[in-house]
A and B are shown apart, each in its own frame.
Chain A
């Protein structure tokens, strides 16, 4: 019997809060369905047109192709991460929550634990389903044989698992931005700026300037985590994962610092 409020207590509370909101449950299910659906569609189309639009045996990565839906998931999961905290500011339920559980660092941790748990289960399911569905689609549609791969091939299992983990890390970055900025719109804007807008801007730079920047961008790192190609110019999947993890920790640490200082 504990003599004071503890992390497991607020984690249980956060779990009840998460599962009792239809919006969060629906957004997770919608995300799962859309990611797998879009990924399958694109996988099928790209396989059918193999050899036409620049896809050729050299650049073809059957793992990445089957996980194309993850582009979509990367964006949505950042919003989910941000909203578990910005949603509380928007409804001012943050005051009710913090009056019940004033230990703010533990409060943040409990939210992160629930977010990691939920997103991990969802994103790994998404990764494995997308992968297996994708490979069977490639096999059924392939104009030339040998385009698909198997989970046992070198680096493939690692890539599929890391694909799921990249989504967890992006959700955490979204959460950290939510902690820092309080407002959903602000957090989403910053998240999208780094994930989607920055790569477009960098693409305008000459490549000897742009390339060193590109490889540090969160979108590149997330994709790098699920790649089986070994381009010596880019980071390995493990390094990509590590850098993205450092980003998540830095943003959440800064967010937690502000969160524990400011008025609720």
Chain B
């Protein structure tokens, strides 16, 4: 269980994280979603005791990170696949981490095996592809067999097969009763991995809940086809719904269910040839939720923000 209470971080003039209060529960994968620059990495660093919150707190099983007896045995984290010395071999990197928490050497070889890096364990990590680097980071997170796992954008740089593997892997970890907290700026990724989601924008909590609720609560649109488009459009507008004309015979109605559109059509004696509810994709919901809070537009890369 990870508990964030009014967690806030201000850098000179940016409020990176703004009063986040959430619980991240064990046994499920919790997706941490937000556009680039919304404060996901900063939140993760504060949970790990790397950055000091300006206000509020983050605790793990009720303890401050700094007070954990053996941090790696309680929390495993992948915050940046490149956060290792490129000149050191994968195995030595893990051996040093293991030594710092009194974890036996045998476990190092085990985790290398789990992530499929045994064959390249003696190679310099600097020569690893981004995908291999992510696997090494995941191996490091697993070293202490921890009950709480944090992964910051873990699928970056993975090939489709790697992404599938990671997804299954996270679900497996959660099903063993662990707390799995995974950030991403891609909703589609989380749709397949996460059970719960926490959506943030500009450091503020926007939505929190089960991922299935997110789409159900969002109103989709309704596609209607009719030979009397003009009459129908006028009737729908009078009823207060949003209408866009797609072509001379179809309309897209927003803010209404298909039942409501059907009733309006009936009341004004309009013939319908088609009435199709269009479910909003998760990506649409995400865009809608975070539209006001997207900090940058265009080809803004987040790397520049992490100096």
Chains A and B form a bound pair: yes
B-contacting residues of A (Cβ < 8 Å)?
Answer: 2-5, 9-10, 12-14, 16-17, 20-23, 87-88, 91-103, 261, 263-264
Q: Which one of B45, B68, B83, B84 contacts A263 once the chains associate, using CB atoms below 8 Å? A: B45
- How would residues 50 to 64 of chain B score, 1 for a CB under 8 Å from any chain A CB and 0 otherwise? 111000000000000
- How would residues 96 to 114 of chain B score, 1 for a CB under 8 Å from any chain A CB and 0 otherwise? 1101111000000000000
B55 CB to nearest chain A CB (Å): 15
Is there an interface contact between B101 and A101, defined as CB atoms closer than 8 Å?
yes
Complex-state Cα separation, A23 to B45, whole angstroms? 29
Q: Is B69 interfacial (CB 8 A cutoff)? A: yes
Is there an interface contact between A9 and B100, defined as CB atoms closer than 8 Å?
yes
Is there an interface contact between A96 and B84, defined as CB atoms closer than 8 Å?
yes
Q: Is B32 interfacial (CB 8 A cutoff)? A: no
Complex-state Cα separation, A263 to B89, whole angstroms? 27
B24 CB to nearest chain A CB (Å): 17
Chain A residues with Cβ under 8 A from B88's Cβ? 17, 20-21
Complex-state Cα separation, A5 to B49, whole angstroms? 16
Q: Which one of B52, B83, B100 contacts A5 once the chains associate, using CB atoms below 8 Å? A: B100
Which residue on chain B has the smallest CB distance to residue A24?
B87
Q: Which one of B85, B92, B97 contacts A100 once the chains associate, using CB atoms below 8 Å? A: B97
Q: Given A96-B140, A99-B49, A102-B65, does the pair A16, B77 have CB atoms closer than 8 Å? A: no
B138 CB to nearest chain A CB (Å): 13
Complex-state Cα separation, A12 to B79, whole angstroms? 24
Q: Given A23-B87, A93-B84, does the pair A98, B102 have CB atoms closer than 8 Å? A: no
Q: Which one of B52, B65, B82, B100 contacts A13 once the chains associate, using CB atoms below 8 Å? A: B100
For the residues of A in contact with B, the DSSP-based class is helix
Task: Please count how many residues in chain B sit with their CB below 8 Å of the partner chain's CB atoms.
Answer: 35
A18 CB to nearest chain B CB (Å): 9
Chain B residues with Cβ under 8 A from A12's Cβ? 99-100
Complex-state Cα separation, A20 to B122, whole angstroms? 11
Chain A residues with Cβ under 8 A from B86's Cβ? 91
Which residue on chain B has the smallest CB distance to residue A98?
B50
Chain A residues with Cβ under 8 A from B79's Cβ? 95-96, 99
Q: Which one of A10, A87, A95 contacts B45 once the chains associate, using CB atoms below 8 Å? A: A95
A257 CB to nearest chain B CB (Å): 14
Q: Is B48 interfacial (CB 8 A cutoff)? A: yes
Which residue on chain A has the smallest CB distance to residue B75?
A99
Which residue on chain B has the smallest CB distance to residue A99?
B48
Which of A21, A93, A96 has its CB near the most chain B CB atoms (within 10 A)? Answer: A96
Is there an interface contact between B80 and A95, defined as CB atoms closer than 8 Å?
yes
Which residue on chain A has the smallest CB distance to residue B102?
A9
Is there an interface contact between A99 and B82, defined as CB atoms closer than 8 Å?
no
Is there an interface contact between A5 and B101, defined as CB atoms closer than 8 Å?
yes
Chain A residues with Cβ under 8 A from B162's Cβ? none
Is there an interface contact between A16 and B96, defined as CB atoms closer than 8 Å?
yes
Is there an interface contact between B89 and A10, defined as CB atoms closer than 8 Å?
no
Chain B residues with Cβ under 8 A from A16's Cβ? 92, 95-96, 99
Is there an interface contact between A92 and B83, defined as CB atoms closer than 8 Å?
yes
Is there an interface contact between B77 and A9, defined as CB atoms closer than 8 Å?
no
Chain A residues with Cβ under 8 A from B85's Cβ? 17, 21, 87-88, 91, 93
Q: Is B279 interfacial (CB 8 A cutoff)? A: no
Q: Is B71 interfacial (CB 8 A cutoff)? A: yes
Is there an interface contact between A263 and B101, defined as CB atoms closer than 8 Å?
no
- Please list the 10 inter-chain residue pairs (A to B) with the smallest Cβ-Cβ separation, ordered nearest first: A20-B92, A13-B100, A4-B69, A13-B99, A263-B51, A16-B96, A264-B50, A12-B99, A92-B83, A13-B96
A1 CB to nearest chain B CB (Å): 9
Which residue on chain A has the smallest CB distance to residue B50?
A264
Is there an interface contact between B84 and A5, defined as CB atoms closer than 8 Å?
no
Chain B residues with Cβ under 8 A from A263's Cβ? 45, 50-52
Complex-state Cα separation, A14 to B100, whole angstroms? 8
Chain A residues with Cβ under 8 A from B52's Cβ? 261, 263
